[in-house]
DNA sequence: CAGTATGTTCAGTTTAAACTGTACGAAAAA
DNA sequence: TTTTTCGTACAGTTTAAACTGAACATACTG
């Protein structure tokens, strides 16, 4: 088997891996481009420069720059320094499961709690005003608010259970 | 307190409730418009016609039609029949938590399994061909594939745990 | 049957997101 | 210092999604 054939098989395998894994990453509510970028960085293993990413994905360096910034914000990628290399180098966090799962779970928990509070305030407003209001409509609304608030509690409970950052082994 | 004032408080409360709850629904990967529609339908409680939804959301009837169809596909809304009413009536499924959670979990499980299989095939391809290939690069790729496959296993495990349809009380 | 009401299809428009190339500022090299 | 090498801001373009109105098909009404 020739060197060239080896390379072609390797790139085919790598291409599949990147493409498929990217789809999984998207499910953690990253955009397709962010996911593709992370996936590339992760499978490559070695830290990459913006120019290398640009080359690998055939997209502009500007896209890489903004994409990397998003990934940095999400704490999924970090900048590393290498002796003698002037360009910025970025590498994917290797602790996949904990990083993704816990940040995802917390996004859920934060949002669920925020919205639960908001609904509780709404319920308070209704209760305060409804001394004077005696309609089935108000009853109905209060009932619905209770249901919704309970819904948020159940969500929080469920996601807390699988939060890898609260060691439940 | 006048009738009008009551109405205005009621609509304010209802408006808040719909808006906030809609945000939560969005998190189950519904589009903002689908979420808003469901939220409206849910809080209204009574079955609604396309025209009523159109009126309530100030959007075209076409939008309501396509929106409702999506919600029907997702099994979050159902069509009901009422004596003497010619128009189609739709109502939100009231079993919020089970409907949303289990469909969401299954979406995750399906995707995770599908992509895991795909990666396993890729790994097989690599193993089959690599008898001849003896490079660190191939080692690295295989290692990464193993990590990714393991990642998918952990995802499946986590989401299975909170699947409300497999009674874990 | 004719006439009307209702839901959906379809083509076009609006709106928002992703991407690109140029230009600029900061930092390194010469 | 001047020149080169980077990364990013910005403005414009492309692309995709959401939405609309008009036309159509089906089913109901009288």
pTM, entire model: 0.88
Q: What is the pLDDT of residue A5?
A: 59
pLDDT of residue B47: 95
Residue A112: per-residue pLDDT: 94
Q: Residue A92 — φ and ψ, nearest 5°?
A: -80, 140
Q: Which residues from A are below 8 Å from B14, CB to CB?
A: 141
* Selection from B44, B1, B8, B43 nearest residue A131 by Cα: B1
Neighbours of B100 (CB within 10 A): 23
The structure tokens listed for B10 are 């009621």
**Which pairs with CB-CB distance under 8 Å and at least 24 residues apart come from B162-166?**
B162/A158, B162/A159, B162/A161, B162/A162, B162/B101, B162/B105, B163/B101, B163/B102, B163/B105, B163/B106, B163/B109, B164/A158, B164/B97, B164/B98, B164/B101, B164/B102, B164/B105, B165/B98, B165/B102, B165/B105, B165/B106
Q: Write down the pLDDT at residue B165.
A: 86
Supply the pLDDT for residue B162: 92
Tally of CB atoms within 10 A around A112: 22
Label residue B110 exposed, middle or buried (CB < 10 Å: 0-12, 13-18, 19+).
exposed
Whether the Cβ atoms of residue B152 and residue B112 lie closer than 8 Å to each other: yes
Mutate to test the interface with B, among A40, A109, A155 (most CBs of B within 10 A): A155
A60-71 burial, b at 16+ Cβ within 10 Å, e below that, comes to eeeebeebbebb
CA count, 13 A, side-chain hemisphere, A101? 23
Q: What is the pLDDT of residue A11?
A: 82
Has residue B3 got a pLDDT over 60? no
Looking at the DSSP bridge assignments, the partners of residue B77 are B92
Domain positions in chain A are 3-94, 97-161
Please identify which residue in the block is written with the tokens 């994409």.
Answer: A67
Residues 118-157 of A with CB under 8 A from B: 118-119, 122, 125-126, 129, 132-133, 135, 137-138, 140-141, 144-145, 147-148, 151-152, 154-155
Q: In this predicted structure, what is the pLDDT of residue A140?
A: 92
Hey, is A48 helix, strand or coil?
A: strand
Copy the structure tokens of residue A59: 């997209």
Q: Is A3 on the interface with B (CB under 8 A)?
A: no
B17-72 pLDDT, tens digit per residue, is: 999 999 999 999 899 999 999 999 999 999 999 999 999 999 999 999 999 999 99
Give counts: helices (H), strands (E), chain B.
6, 2
> What are the backbone dihedrals phi and psi of residue A91, each rounded to the nearest 5 degrees, phi first?
-140, 150
Residue of A nearest to B10 (CA): A138
Q: Does domain A3-94 have CATH number 1.10.10.10?
A: yes
Residue of B1, B10, B141 lying closest to A13 (CB–CB):
B141
From the list B10, B119, B52, the residue with the least C-alpha distance to A25 is B119
Structure confidence at residue B12 as a pLDDT band (50, 70, 90):
confident
Residues lower than pLDDT 50 in chain A = none
pLDDT bucket at B130, cuts 50 / 70 / 90: confident
- Cite the beta strand spans of chain A per DSSP E: 77-80, 89-92
Give the model confidence (pLDDT) of A48-63 as tens digits.
999 999 999 999 999 9
What is the residue-wise DSSP string for B77-108? EEEE--TT--S-EEEE-S-HHHHHHHHHHHHH
Per-residue pLDDT reduced to its tens digit, B72-125:
999 999 999 998 889 999 999 888 889 899 989 999 999 999 999 999 999 999
Q: Which nucleotides of D are covered by protein (CB under 7 A)?
A: 5-10, 17-22, 28-29
In the block, tokens 């808003």 appear at: B36
Which residues lie below 8 Å from residue A120, measured CB to CB, with a gap of 6+?
A149
CA distance B41 to B70: 14
């Amino acid at each position: 088997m020739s060197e060239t054939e080896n390379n072609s098989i390797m790139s085919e395998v790598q291409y599949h891996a990147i493409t498929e894994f990217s789809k999984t990453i998207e499910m953690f509510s990253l955009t397709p481009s962010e996911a593709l970028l992370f996936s590339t960085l992760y499978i490559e293993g070695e830290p990459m420069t913006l120019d290398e990413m640009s080359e690998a994905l055939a997209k502009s360096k500007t896209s890489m720059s903004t994409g990397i910034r998003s990934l940095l914000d999400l704490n999924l990628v970090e900048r590393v320094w290498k002796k003698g290399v002037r360009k910025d180098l970025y590498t994917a966090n290797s602790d996949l499961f904990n990083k993704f799962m816990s940040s995802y779970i917390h996004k859920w928990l934060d949002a669920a709690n925020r919205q639960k509070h908001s609904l509780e305030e709404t319920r308070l407003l209704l209760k305060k005003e409804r001394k004077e209001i005696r309609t089935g409509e108000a009853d109905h609304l209060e009932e619905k608010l209770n249901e919704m608030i309970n819904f948020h509690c159940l969500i929080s409970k469920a996601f807390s259970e699988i939060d890898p950052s609260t060691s439940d082994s």
